[in-house]
Amino acid sequence: MQNKICMHYLISGHVQGVFFRASTQEQANTLGLTGWTRNLDNGQVEVVACGETEKLMQFYAWLLHGPERAKVEKVISEEIPWQQHARFAVK
Task: Confirm whether 3 is a catalytic residue.
Answer: no
Q: Rounded distance, CA 85 to CA 34, Å? A: 6
Tally of helices (H runs) and strands (E runs) in the chain = 2, 5
| First-to-last C-alpha distance (Å) of the chain | 28
Task: Confirm whether 21 is a catalytic residue.
Answer: yes
Q: Which of 38, 39, 42, 69 is catalytic?
A: 39
Q: Which of 21, 29, 69, 87 is catalytic?
A: 21
Residues involved in catalysis = 21, 39
